[in-house]
């Protein structure tokens, strides 16, 4: 998971390094299309995807505006998987859901490439360390000193703030826009089965709810609980992002119905 761009030669170089150290690694691209330097989007996508990957997966995540600076690199074990990322909040979404069983700062230079550039730690640090972990060549404890998980950097919570007055309302943001122009928010329903009654985004109030794209009437924006488990807004056969003039980062306000049992 990086912001290098899909098909970037930087991703190719990382995979070359991994293949040289751990030839049997099954390397899967989560996405490299994270908006450049957008740690928040990366944190959301990682938190949405990790549980679909096999136990013992090593995740190498590089959205790293501070590359080459004094920022630390974190290795975290949680949910039976390993997460390697700059200690800049990228693991915040995972840490909000899981209790880590290990947290280390990655400092042992002997596990890096012999020459470490100041601008491309993905190739020179993340790839070789991830490959050595995946190969079982090194134990997680070997990468560097233990760190109190509570001290790992977290970003401003990707969780809705709830006011007293409207216990069924939530404030959040558009954290991802997919290829179809669907607006993915970070607002999860307060209870399973609770449908959004109204979503306010981009100056529009959307009250139409649908369960699937197919059952939504043409030309009308509608809301639904998306495959990440959060509220989304879409337009049948069109880009909601374009039609509503809304992009990543836009504020969103959601009111929920009472929870229903399915």
Task: Provide the binding-site residues for a second copy, judged by CB under 8 A.
Answer: 1, 3-13, 15-17, 19-20, 23, 26, 28-33, 36-37, 45, 48-49, 52-55, 57, 65-69, 71, 117-120, 123-124, 176, 178-180, 211-215, 224, 226-227, 237
Nearest in space to 100 (alpha carbons), one of 118, 113, 109, 87 = 87
In whole angstroms, give the CA distance from residue 75 to residue 152: 10
How near is the Cβ of 164 to a second copy at its closest, in Å?
32
- Is the CB of 6 or the CB of 141 nearer to a second copy? 6
Q: Give me the helix-helix angle, 127-135 and 9-21, nearest 10°.
A: 30
- Is the CB of 77 or the CB of 213 nearer to a second copy? 213
- Is the CB of 180 or the CB of 258 nearer to a second copy? 180
- Is the CB of 103 or the CB of 134 nearer to a second copy? 134
In whole angstroms, give the CA distance from residue 31 to residue 5: 8
In whole angstroms, give the CA distance from residue 52 to residue 260: 26
How near is the Cβ of 246 to a second copy at its closest, in Å?
18
How near is the Cβ of 49 to a second copy at its closest, in Å?
5
CA 230 to centroid of chain Cα atoms: 13
How near is the Cβ of 199 to a second copy at its closest, in Å?
16
How near is the Cβ of 43 to a second copy at its closest, in Å?
13
Report the 10 Å Cβ neighbour count for 47: 22
Contact 195, 144 (CB under 8 A): no
How near is the Cβ of 34 to a second copy at its closest, in Å?
9
Contact 1, 42 (CB under 8 A): yes
In angstroms, the Cα distances linking 211 to 24, 101, 151 are: 41, 37, 40
- Is the CB of 228 or the CB of 256 nearer to a second copy? 228
SS3 146: strand
In whole angstroms, give the CA distance from residue 104 to residue 149: 9
- Is the CB of 66 or the CB of 190 nearer to a second copy? 66
């Amino acid at each position: 998971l990086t912001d290098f761009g899909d098909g970037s030669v930087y991703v190719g170089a990382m995979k070359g390094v991994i293949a040289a150290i751990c030839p049997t690694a099954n390397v899967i691209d989560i996405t490299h299309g994270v908006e450049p330097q957008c740690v928040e989007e990366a944190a959301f996508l990682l938190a949405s995807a990790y549980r679909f990957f096999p136990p013992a997966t090593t995740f190498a995540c590089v959205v790293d505006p501070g590359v080459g600076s004094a920022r630390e690199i974190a290795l975290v074990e949680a949910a039976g998987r390993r997460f390697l990322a700059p200690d800049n909040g990228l693991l915040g979404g995972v840490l909000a859901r899981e209790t880590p069983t290990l947290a280390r700062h990655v400092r042992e230079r002997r596990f890096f490439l012999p020459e470490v550039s100041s601008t491309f730690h993905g190739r020179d640090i993340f790839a070789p360390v991830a490959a050595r972990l995946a190969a079982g060549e090194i134990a997680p404890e070997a990468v560097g000193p233990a760190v109190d998980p509570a001290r790992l950097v977290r970003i401003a919570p990707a969780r809705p703030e709830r006011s007293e007055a409207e216990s069924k309302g939530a404030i959040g943001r558009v954290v991802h826009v997919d290829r179809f122009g669907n607006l993915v928010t970070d607002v999860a329903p307060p209870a399973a089965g609770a449908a959004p009654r109204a979503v306010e985004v981009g100056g529009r109030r959307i009250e139409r709810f649908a369960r699937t794209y197919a059952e939504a009437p043409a030309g009308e924006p509608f809301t639904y609980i998306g495959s990440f488990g959060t509220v989304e807004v879409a337009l049948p056969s069109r880009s909601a992002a374009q039609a509503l003039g809304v992009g990543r980062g836009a504020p969103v306000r959601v009111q929920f119905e009472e929870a229903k049992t399915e």
